[in-house]
Amino acid sequence: MSSASRVLPGFGLSLGFTLAYLSLIVLIPLSAVFFKTATMDFERFWSVVASDRVVASYKLSFGMSLLAAAINVVFGLMLAWAIVRYSFPGKKIVDALVDLPFALPTAVAGISLTALYAPNGWLGQLLEPLGIKIAFGPYGVLVALVFIGLPFVVRTVQPIIEDFDIGFEEAAASLGASRWQTFRRVVFPALLPALLTGFALAFARAVGEYGSVIFIAGNIPFVSEITPLMIITRLEEFDYEGATAIASVMLIVSFILLLVINLLQGWTARSTRRSA
């Protein structure tokens, strides 16, 4: 824009401060990971990031994060649908509490879920006779990741259900579609971008999650160690190179996920505009 039409003051100051603060707090510190990794020779790097124990942690972190995000999509969609479309007692409280996993410190969630699902816990003692072991194993990781991921799906899908033009549903019904056909062919396609965005957000959060998982996971090598814990383990051994190598892998994954989520959010915004 030409400077003549720039009526408002403070452009240089606000942008300058924004860029300086962003660089100091985020960009320069993050770049340290890549500079440090670049000083390692490749064999050393590879021996860390492709070691059996670390590869086992990728499998657990990615596998359980995918599964948790999938569970959240199913139940998150139902919950969002119930909150928008149905009236039931306590609805306002449920709506407010959906954000609890987001507001509750992860360490609190971690010890609480552990106490709940431990063999002597409220739920653990019911599950133990059935031979189901949740706490101190891979399924403990899953439970914690489902907990922290729930709000991401509900809060991404809920506004789309709220804004959905019911004229489409009425048109489908008047043309003879059953309620299920209407949902599957008319409503669901409109919700799909938001569902995928919610899935990606929940997945991205789950991959990096640490606090709620370490208490319930049991942290058994090759069985229930998540990737962020592998960084901590290296740090505790004062192996900063090793920790940084694993962190660089996680950062690259984060960047890819950030890109995917941006594309998905763009798609959601476009399809919302179309249907509005």
Partner 1 sequence: MTSAGSPLAGRLSVSSTHFEDRLATRDSTFVKALILTLSLSFFALFVVLPLILVFVEAFRKGGETYIASLTDPDAISAIKLTLLAAAIAVPLNLIFGISAAWAIARFEFRGKQFLITLIDLPFSVSPVVAGLIYVLLFGAHGWFGGWLQANDIKIIFAVPGIVLATIFVTFPFVARELIPLMQSQGREEEEAAIILGASGLQTFWRVTLPNVKWALLYGVILCNARAMGEFGAVSVVSGHIRGETNTMPLHVEILYNEYQFAAAFAVASLLAFLALVTLFLKTYVEWQVERNVAVENDK
Per CB under 8 A, contacts with partner 1 among 103-132 are: 103-109, 111-113, 115-116, 122-123
Q: 106-117 vs 138-163: helix axis angle to the nearest 10? A: 120
Interface residue with partner 1, options 54, 139, 140, 209 (CB under 8 A) = 209
Closest CB 197 distance from partner 1, rounded Å: 10
Q: 195: buried, middle or exposed (CB in 10 Å: 19+, 13-18, 0-12)?
A: buried
Tokens at 228, concatenated: 């962020």
Interface residue with partner 1, options 40, 66, 70, 82 (CB under 8 A) = 82
> Up-side HSE of residue 83: CA atoms within 13 Å toward CB?
22
C-alpha distances in angstroms, 144 versus 66, 196, 265, 269?
13, 21, 26, 30
Q: Which is nearer to partner 1, 77 or 138 (CB)?
A: 77
The length of the chain, given as a count of residues: 276
Residue 191 interacts with partner 1 (CB under 8 A): yes or no: no
Question: Which region, judged by CB under 8 A, interacts with partner 1, from 39-47, 51-59, 128-136, 164-172?
Answer: 164-172
Looking only at residues 43 through 72 of this chain, which bind partner 1 when binding is defined by CB under 8 A?
none
Whole-angstrom distance, CA of residue 85 vs CA of residue 79? 10
Interface residue with partner 1, options 47, 155, 192, 218 (CB under 8 A) = 155
Interface residue with partner 1, options 135, 204, 217, 245 (CB under 8 A) = 204
Q: Considering only CA atoms, which of 150, 76, 60, 162 is closest in space to residue 113?
A: 150
Amino acid at 194: A
- Residues 69, 206 contacting (CB under 8 angstroms): yes
Whole-angstrom distance, CA of residue 149 vs CA of residue 143? 10
Q: Which is nearer to partner 1, 23 or 222 (CB)?
A: 23
Q: Considering only CA atoms, which of 255, 208, 252, 212 is closest in space to residue 230?
A: 208
Residue 166 interacts with partner 1 (CB under 8 A): yes or no: yes
Question: Which region, judged by CB under 8 A, interacts with partner 1, from 38-46, 49-57, 129-137, 254-262?
Answer: 254-262
Interface residue with partner 1, options 40, 127, 173, 192 (CB under 8 A) = 173
Residue 162 interacts with partner 1 (CB under 8 A): yes or no: yes
- Residues 252, 227 contacting (CB under 8 angstroms): no
Tokens at 109, concatenated: 């969630």
Question: Which region, judged by CB under 8 A, interacts with partner 1, from 20-28, 40-48, 52-60, 217-225?
Answer: 20-28
Interface residue with partner 1, options 51, 66, 133, 169 (CB under 8 A) = 169
Interface residue with partner 1, options 50, 55, 78, 126 (CB under 8 A) = 78
**DSSP H or E run through 26:** none
Interface residue with partner 1, options 39, 125, 181, 262 (CB under 8 A) = 262
Interface residue with partner 1, options 46, 102, 188, 222 (CB under 8 A) = 102
Closest CB 257 distance from partner 1, rounded Å: 6
Show Cβ contacts of residue 256 under 8 Å, excluding neighbours closer than 6 positions: none
Interface residue with partner 1, options 54, 134, 141, 231 (CB under 8 A) = 231
